[in-house]
Structure formats: C-alpha cells, structure tokens
Structure 1
Amino acid sequence: MKENYYRQIQLPSGVVHVYAGPELFKGLDYQVFQMANNNLQIPNGMYMSYTPDVHVGVGTCIGTTAVWNTHNGYVSPSIVGSDIGCGMRVHMTNVHKDELKDVKLRRKLVKTIEKYLPVEDHARGHFSDIRLEHIVTKGLHGLPKKYIPDGYTPRKATSLTHVESNKFTIDENALNRFPSNVWHRSHRQLGTLGNGNHFAEIQSIEIAEENRDVAEAWGLFDGQVVIMIHSGSRAWGGSVSQTCSSDILKVMRMHGLGTADPKLLYAPLEHPEAQNYVNLMYSALNYAVVNRHLIAYAIREAGKDVFGSKFEMSTLYDLMHNYAWEEKHDEQSYFVHRKGATRSLPAGHPDNPQPYLTTGHPALIPGSMGTASYIMVGAPGGKANFHSICHGAGRIRSRSATKRLVTLNEFASYMRVGTNDEIVVNQRSLESILDESPQAYKDVDQIIESVVGAGLAEVVAKCKPMAAVKGAK
C-alpha cells in the first residue's frame, strides 16, 4: 500500500514529506530531520520532500526536493549542491551481453576506453579544439559538428533530442567574473569523469515484463549492452559554486537572513546576486550535459576499435540530479530545486521531450559498484512530489568509515573477482576504490521498491554491471 512508503513529518519549522519504505525510514539519521528543519526556515517555501536515498549533505541533504513560487521565491546553492548539473546518461548499443561473456574481451574494452577517456585525477581531455565559451553559453549546440556523430543521419539522431535539455540560455555578462585559470582548468577537464562516485559502466539489461511495451518503444531489448555514465560539471561547476556561495553569504548578512546552519545559503530570487547565481548555474548545467556527451563520444570511439565499424551507440537519455529551475505545475510557475533527486515525468506530460511525449522519458537510477542500476519511467502519482524520485542508492557510510569496516575480500566478492562473471574495473587494485563498495550504500532494490510502492515511478529495465571505468584519485 502506498501509505507504507510515504509519511508527512511535522517539524517545528514545517512539514517534510518523506518517501521511503519502513526499513529505510527507520534507518534515517536524526540529522536528516535537523537539516529539514533548517531548510524549512527559508522564507516562503511551498514544499519540501525527501526521496528514499536521502542522506546528510552540506547545508541540505542529498535526496531533497524544495519548491518556491517563482514570484516570491528563493534560490539556494546549498539545495543545488557543489557539483552543479551532476547527472546520468545512458547510451544503447547494438551489442548483446553474450558477445561480452569473455572476461578477456571485457578487459580489452575497458583498456581501450581508457585510451580515449582520461581517468587520471589531473588528466587533460582530448577535446582541445572545442571552445569552452561556446559550451557554457550554447550547451550541446556549441559543439563542432564532428562531435555529434549522428548529426548526418537525422532519422537516427538522438544526440540533441534525447536529453532533458540541450541548451540553457544565460546572460553571458555573468561569465566575465571568472579568471583565466578557471577557464583553462575547466577547458582541460572537458570529457573527463572525475573521481568519487562518478563512473562509466558497461551493463546488460533485463526488461521488466509489465513495461515491455515502453522498453521496446525506447529501443531496449533483453540482454542489450548499455553504457551508463555518471558525471557533472567538473571545475566549472565547482568554481560557480564557490564564487557564488561567497556572494550569497554577503547578501544574507546584509539582509539579516540565516538559519541554525551557517552552511545553508539562500537569497531571494529577485536579488541581483541570486540572478547572477542562476545564470552561472545554467552555464554549469550546459557544461555538465556536454561533459557527459563527450565521455560517451570517447566510449563510442573505443567501442568501434573493439567491435568494428558496425558498432552503434545511440543516446537513450541524459538528465540531471543537482539543479534548480522554473517549472509549471497546474499552470502555476514554481522554482524547483533538486539535490540528489531525479525528475521523472509520466506519459503525456507536456514537459517530456518530443520523442518521449507518449511514453514518458527514461529516469536513470544508478546503484553502487557490484549492484544493479535501473531505468524507470514516471507514474501519474509522481505529481504529488513534483515528479521527483531518487537519484541513486544513497550513502550510509562515509568514505573513511567504509575503508575501516569493509574488507577487500568482501568487496572482491561483490565484484565476483576471479570468475567468468567478474565485473571488470580499470583500477589496478580494488583498494583504491574501496570507499565506493556496495557496503557504503543503501540497498538499491529497497530504494526502487519505495519509489514504485509510493506510486512515483515504475521500473522499465534492470541494468546488471559487466565492467566499470572509474576515475583515479
């Protein structure tokens, strides 16, 4: 029953809506509700909720949706997050999992991907011929044509259409405040993963029978190999967050704004510094979408090396889970923040991209290393939560705690090391990525059960990991 997966929690400063099954709800840290209470002290808030993967962040929990009316609203860098535009992308291939059952071939594919996709911490991307100013102002439309591989076959073109947004319009004057070193570093990082929980994963899919018609309409089939990518806006988004957070803090001090948490930053939308942040945030969203596109482009080139010229890799979808923007709900304009939350629209919703208007768009939910990920589609019941669902599994342990409590043997067991089904990774030692082991995260199957049980979205396909590329630290 839906009520088992939804609760309204009355706090001193207001109500937070929590979508989580009984076991996940019971496991929530009290700090999650302390943070909710602080967030609810921001004036004029219309709505706030948590998805089942919620966990403590800086100023605001990851797994938060927070909504204001546009005409008297607020914007909060804390309820966007420092990695602005971080999100997911999935590409479909014409390869079946049986073609990758040889572990040696999976290792070859991973090694070839590394040739095209730099993974070292200070690696330089392979895209020096791209102009960064075109990327941050025009999004995918700022790319030279050669980086839109399907641009010459309009019937199959998905690069510009199968995305949440291919261009965010900004006031370019806002860009003048960034020094040359920020531009230089951000340019170098185009088309790179970064480290932490970012990845590119080779997966095989298993279609959910109840949504087979949706899966087939999208071009998915059982056993299909797909590429799932998780990355964000790299140094550009980090610079936007750092610079604008300082500016927003000054606004708060000037107007006597604040909560019990000094790290929770916000300002009225109408304030010039708030508008400056929104502009620069949109530039980081442009960067993030292009960054994932270029990562996929690199993997496509590697795939052609391994499988030959007949290898295909078309875009299923690209979406964000750290952002804020204007949306219409029941003809009312709202400014919606999502921090570690994914928009998931149902069939017929007018905000769906045209290719997904009749089905709803894919919602891409990663698991953790060694566990399944999911491709979902929004359900009508999601309207109650402004069509927000989870963004992943959600951490339950810090990186340091994971390294203390989880052994390499336990991690290796999850990765099936030494078997024909080994989930191949590009790291020489699992020790370097131990803090990303499944034991650091909640059970993704429970997360998905909560989302489905609450009537927010439905499963279209389960994605099982076969190989993963992680950035080096």
Structure 2
Amino acid sequence: MNENDSLIFNMSDRADTPSRIPFVVQVVVIQIVKELMDLYTDHGNNHKEIPLPAGRLHVFANDEIFASLGAKVYDMADNNLRIPGNIHMSYTPDAHVGIGTCIGTTAVWDMADGYVSPSIVGSDIGCGMRVHLTPLSKEDILDKKVRRELIRAVEKMVPVNNRSASTYQDIDLEKVVTHGLKGLPQQYIPDAYTPNRKTSISHVENAQFTFDTDYLEYIQSPQWGRGKKQIGTLGGGNHFIEFQVIEIEEEQREIADKWGMKDGQVVVMIHSGSRAWGAMMGREYKKDFEIWMSKKGIGTRDPNLVFAPINTDEGQRYLNLMYSALNYAVINRHMIAYGVLEGMKEVFGSKVEMPVLYDLMHNYALEEKHDGKSRLVHRKGTTRALPPGHSLNATPYQETGHPVLIPGSMGTASYILVGQSEGVKNYYSVCHGAGRIRSRRATKEQVTVDEFSSSMKVGTDEEILVNHRSLQTILDESPQAYKDVDQIIDSVVGANLATVVARCRPLAVIKGV
C-alpha cells in the first residue's frame, strides 16, 4: 500500500458522497496543516519543502511571496496529496486558491499505475499564451488615435463578446480537434513570407495532440455546434489580447536576436483557451470520476477534487477527450491571432507580417519522459520552461530553449523568459502569470475605479488604452487583483527555473466580456 492510501477517507460505509467529511476531521487536519507550515526545509534559491500530513509540497517563491501564502493553499495541497502514488507536487509563486486544486500546481504520477485528475487540470483545458512578433516599433503606435483605431480594427475581426459567433464557418471542427493546427484550411496558415519554414506549425509547443478519435463519439451534438461557433473567439475573464513594447535584457541579447526580437519592438500577446469545448470536459466528466470514487468508497475533504486511475475507462475517456480540447485551444489562439493580423493590415497596410514567436499551454495533463520513465505531469496554471538542448523543445528552439511567456496584468509588465537546466527539480514548470491576490468579488468591493484608472495611467501620454468604455465593467481584472509580477519573476529567476529575456510593457489591451 502506498503511504498516501491510508490518508484517503474511506467512504464505503456512507450512503452519501465523498463531500460529507465530518466537520471535526476537517478542523483537526486544517489545524495540523497550520502547525506544519513553519516546519519547512529551506533548500535555498527560493525553494522550500513543506511536510504536510499527506506528503511533501515544494514551493518555489521568494520570502515575500512565500510569507503571503495562506493556510488554505496548503490545506488544498494536502487534499491533493491524498491521491495515491503522487511522485511530486509543487506550487509556483503565483499559487492561489482554485476549485479543487490551487492554480499554480504541478502534480506528477507514474503512467503505469498513477492517477489523472480533472481538478488538477482545470476547467479551461489548454488555456495558454501566445506571442507574435511585428515589424512595428514603439513610435508606430504611441499616438493614442492609432492605438484606438487598432483596437477597433481588431474587434471587428475577433469576437470579444461571449454572445458573438465565430466568422470561420469554413473550418471543419472535427478536423481541428483531431489534427490541431494541421487540420486548418491552408488559407489560415499565413506563412507565405516563410515558404520553406511554416512558423505557424513549427513555433508552437505542440501543433497536434494525437489521441484515440473513437472517444469523440461521446461528444453530444449541441457541443459540436457550440464548439463550431466559438472558434477564434476570445472569451471573458482574464483572457486578453495585448499590444506590448519589449525591452531586451542585456545579458540575453544573443538569444533575443536568434528569436527575432529587438528593443522597442511591438509584440502581440494573446491569452485564451478551449472555450466551451474544454469546459464541457471538466463539467461532464467530473461526474464520471465522482461515480467511480463513490463505487470505490474513497474521497477527500474537498468534494471538488476528483480523480481516478489512468488505466480506468473513466481515466482513458477523460485523457483522450482532453487532448481534443488541447487541439481546440491551440487553433483557437491561432485564429485569434489571424484576426489580429487582419486588423493590423487594415491599419498598417496589407504587407504587414506577424510571425508567431511561440504558443504554450498552462492547463493540462501530459505524458512526458523524466529520468527515462513515463510520467503524467499535471500543470494547472503552470507552464513548461524547457532549457536549451531538452528533447521536448520544439525543433526551432532546440539550441536555445523555447520562449516562456508569463503575463502580468493589463497595467503591469509581462515577461518572456527561457528555461534553465536546474528546472528539472520542478519538472521544468514555472508560473503562468502573476496570480490573483484577490477574488473577483473582493476586488470589486475593495478597489475603486480611480485606483484602477491611476494604474492604467489614464489621461497621461503613457495611458494604457483598453477596449472598454468604462473601467467599472472590468474592475475585477484590474492590476490590483493580482500579485506583484516583479516579485513573481524574482521568485522564478531566484529559483533558477528560468531567466528573463525580455520585459513587455502594455500599450493597448483588448478584453473579452
């Protein structure tokens, strides 16, 4: 028996669900967690290891961020560690409370006898980041009139309202969820300027995730219709399109040059995911996992944390359909970028080019080889940061390592980094963003529009333009809702997980509604 097995509550003698854990048990475990929080091992370089009742948690954060993590995130880690056979679990510095599992979690099981958890993947499967390079410089879009025109032009091409339908009715949904970028019609792969090098296909974490397509039979007709309507749409919440200007780190100019980046260059950063296609996986197949857990009589103190062995019918169905959602997410970001390019052509002329720098995910479970063994690596709100020479790097980035994309907030800098070899200690995972410090509700209650306005430099020459007429409508996405991104980056760099290549300052932001 694995040492964690005994830490799962046996529910076989109960008629209700695993959520009905006796209150006294919850109080006792939470108290134990609080007492253990200070009994950590400091490995140096922003790496702490905390002994929790169910196992050990690695935390990669500087002292300031580490001190800010509350008891709840450790309590949630303890629940996650109760899943049998866990090999590794960690938090990146953006860690904050999520549903069932904290955002900022990396969790690993062996493929042979391990577990998969939709809760540790997250609801927006395949959500990720994408950056495109442009030939523009900062001076080209400093004029507010130009930036407003650019925002309007992009909004005509990229639906930002959840009720708006995709304009790409000629895209075969079954082909793209099966073949990813390789399933798109040729006219949507805009690589005429690189005829011998299809950057749209090569400069991404994965252009096609393969899976057993027989599982697509489980998808109901309404879901196919909804998925078709949302191709190339942004979505709400923290999804965005940003026009940013980059500043290259002096020590990384050689890598930046190889990547085609230069000081003062305008880049486009996109954050979106698999929309309703992926959300359906989390919603529908969570029920399957709950049924399996109920039959086996196991559970944890959190009813939102579900899991099953990889080799069960439930595990296999979820994993295969999850890969279809990863394909959807990649082509959705690609088509958003296609719309942005069309908008840019309207403003700057038909010859403008916008090659992709990189596209990567931060909500998924992926089979990877580590130390010669097959592992299922869950990353919820964490992203891969592979160092130079790693075999999993996309071919164009074998020599340098791939770009690691970490957004801040709409009023602060974002960063482009590259992974370091020491990242092996965290399965080459880093954070996916700044991480929320306040819930949406708390932000609306505690942050004023004036504070938001000030952080966006409204009324000044350096104003960060946004596509919403009223900041009140997106107050829950204000910079005040997020942790200090510079502290987050300091944590990652100090832990030797990655190093900064460029800092990206926002000039114009497009948010969904």
Q: TM range, normalised to the smaller chain? A: over 0.9
What is the one-letter code of the residue matched to 1:229? I
- Displacement, 1:152? 6.9
Note if 1:371 corresponds to 2:440: no
What is the one-letter code of the residue matched to 2:481? A
Q: What TM-score does the superposition give when structure 1 sets the normalisation length?
A: 0.98
* Greater shift in the superposed pair: 152-161 or 460-469: 152-161
What is the one-letter code of the residue matched to 2:420? A
Distance 2:194 2:430 in 1: 34
SS in 2 for 1:159: helix
Distance 2:316 2:252 in 1: 42
SS in 2 for 1:465: strand
Distance 1:227 1:63 in 2: 24
Give 1:277-426 correspondences, 5 Å limit. 277-426=318-467
**Structure 2 residue aligned with 1:468:** 509
**Structure 2 residue aligned with 1:74:** 115
SS in 2 for 1:347: coil
SS in 1 for 2:459: coil
- Displacement, 1:151? 5.3
Note if 1:131 corresponds to 2:172: yes
Distance 1:420 1:25 in 2: 36
- Displacement, 1:143? 0.3
Note if 1:445 corresponds to 2:495: no
- Alignment deviations for residues 356-388 of structure 1 (CA, whole Å, 9 cap, x no partner): 000000010000110000000001110110000
Note if 1:30 corresponds to 2:87: no
- Displacement, 1:310? 2.5
- Displacement, 1:216? 0.6
- Alignment deviations for residues 25-44 of structure 1 (CA, whole Å, 9 cap, x no partner): 11101010000101000001
**Structure 2 residue aligned with 1:185:** 226
**Structure 2 residue aligned with 1:257:** 298
Distance 1:74 1:254 in 2: 16
Distance 2:192 2:108 in 1: 37
- Displacement, 1:157? 2.6
Q: Quick check: 1:2–1:454 contact (8 Å CA) kept in 2?
A: no
- Displacement, 1:255? 1.5
1:198 to 225, 228, 239: 239
- Alignment deviations for residues 332-361 of structure 1 (CA, whole Å, 9 cap, x no partner): 111100000010000011110110000000
1:144 to 178, 185, 202: 185
SS in 2 for 1:220: coil
Identity, % of aligned pairs?
A: 60
- Displacement, 1:156? 4.8
- Displacement, 1:261? 1.1
1:242 to 268, 283, 287: 283
- Displacement, 1:2? 7.2
- Displacement, 1:153? 3.2
Structure 2 gap segments, 5+ residues each: 1-41
**Structure 2 residue aligned with 1:270:** 311
- Alignment deviations for residues 290-333 of structure 1 (CA, whole Å, 9 cap, x no partner): 00000000000011111112211000000000000110112111
SS in 1 for 2:298: coil
Q: What TM-score does the superposition give when structure 2 sets the normalisation length?
A: 0.91
Note if 1:9 corresponds to 2:9: no
SS in 2 for 1:227: strand
Q: Quick check: 1:137–1:172 contact (8 Å CA) kept in 2?
A: yes
SS in 1 for 2:492: helix
SS in 1 for 2:468: coil
SS in 1 for 2:201: coil
Q: Quick check: 2:95–2:104 contact (8 Å CA) kept in 1?
A: yes
Distance 2:138 2:321 in 1: 41
- Displacement, 1:257? 2.4
Give 1:21-170 correspondences, 5 Å limit. 21-150=62-191, 153-170=194-211
What is the one-letter code of the residue matched to 1:171? D
SS in 1 for 2:44: helix
What is the one-letter code of the residue matched to 1:420? D
- Alignment deviations for residues 153-185 of structure 1 (CA, whole Å, 9 cap, x no partner): 334531000000000112112111222111111
Count of aligned positions: 472
Distance 1:23 1:188 in 2: 44
Structure 1 gap segments, 5+ residues each: none
**Structure 1 residue aligned with 2:213:** 172
- Alignment deviations for residues 432-460 of structure 1 (CA, whole Å, 9 cap, x no partner): 10100011000000000000000000000
Higher Cα Rg, which structure: 2
- Closer/same/farther in 2, CA of residues 56 and 179 from structure 1, 3 Å limit: same
Q: Quick check: 1:2–1:453 contact (8 Å CA) kept in 2?
A: no
**Structure 2 residue aligned with 1:433:** 474
Stretches (4+) displaced over 6 A: none
- Displacement, 1:210? 1.1
What is the one-letter code of the residue matched to 1:60? T
SS in 2 for 1:82: coil
Q: Quick check: 1:2–1:455 contact (8 Å CA) kept in 2?
A: no
- Alignment deviations for residues 74-102 of structure 1 (CA, whole Å, 9 cap, x no partner): 00000000000000000000100111110
Q: Quick check: 2:45–2:496 contact (8 Å CA) kept in 1?
A: no
Distance 1:28 1:302 in 2: 42
Distance 1:271 1:55 in 2: 30
Q: Quick check: 2:176–2:331 contact (8 Å CA) kept in 1?
A: yes
